Amino acid sequence: MATQALVPIVTSNLNELISARLKDYIVQNGLRAGDKLPTEEKLSQSLGVSRTAVREALRSMEAVGLVEARQGYGRVVCDFNFKAILGNLSYGLVFLSQDILQITDIRKALDAYFIEAAVHNLTAAEIAELSRLVDSMEKRVEAGLDITDDDYKFHRLLYERSCNPLALQLFEITWTVRLNAYDRDVALREAPPGTAHEHAGILEAIIQRDVEAARRLILAHHWNTEQRFRQRVAEVVQREQKEGNGHEAK
């Protein structure tokens, strides 16, 4: 396979432009995870920029998981995943806003689609684990305790059995964003009414291998949680408006 040449950079926004050229180079040359990149010196010569500029761009690509440095070997292309992006995304959406509701919409769409694969792929042992988690939720709700961990494990197992690694990573993103929402302690400290019962219903549909019932129940479960977030969004917006009016009055 003929190697595509790198085009020298003549403009000033070096970091972004070098990164863009390197990504083009990776794609155009069909590089895959584990394939080695040219050395900093060769990249510097090809692009017509300093090694320092190349190094900075490579580090920015490392930060988002596009490439990695291997000691004694050099830099290689990484297999794409959302792990490096997850922290920045959850930080960027740390304040509860309409963004959280948009994330919820994405999560609902994912659940509605991937529940079918999960229903078909779950083993008897995994269904038993879901049952254990539902029992734990019910007991914790009765005791007035938080069920977040059980809730997370329940839904994560469903995504694991969707057998789609990217879907699992998207689930992790939506979950982390939700937990990093503004006032999350207030929004999540107490489970919405019927949460444990909703999970029990989803589990029963899974046991019956009834995809449509499982889909309908999991969407109803989302509706319950979504209404709680909508209430929190409205409260936050109202409070911010009052605070803004107070500052204007002064």
| Segments of the chain assigned to CATH 1.10.10.10 | 14-77
Q: Give residue 85's pLDDT.
A: 63
pLDDT in tens, the chain (250 residues): 566 777 665 555 788 899 999 999 999 999 998 999 999 999 999 999 999 999 999 998 888 788 999 988 999 998 876 666 665 655 555 544 556 778 888 899 999 999 999 999 999 999 999 999 999 999 998 888 888 899 999 999 999 999 999 899 889 888 877 776 644 554 445 556 678 999 999 999 999 999 999 999 999 998 877 777 777 667 766 776 777 666 565 5
Q: Give residue 130's pLDDT.
A: 98
DSSP letters spanning the chain: -PPPPPPPP-SS-HHHHHHHHHHHHHHHTT--TTPBPPPHHHHHHHHTS-HHHHHHHHHHHHHTTSEEEETTTEEEEPPP-SHHHHHHHHHHT-S-SHHHHHHHHHHHHHHHHHHHHHHHH--HHHHHHHHHHHHHHHHHHHTT---HHHHHHHHHHHHHTTT-HHHHHHHHHHHHHHHTSTTHHHHHHSPPTTHHHHHHHHHHHHHTT-HHHHHHHHHHHHHHHHHHHHHHHHHHHHHHHHHHHHHHH-
Q: Give residue 193's pLDDT.
A: 60
Token reading at 249 = 């009055």
Domain 14-77 has CATH 1.10.10.10: yes
| Segments of the chain assigned to CATH 1.20.120.530 | 84-249
Burial of 25 (0-12, 13-18, 19+ CB in 10 A): buried
Taking the domain 84-249, which CATH number applies?
A: 1.20.120.530
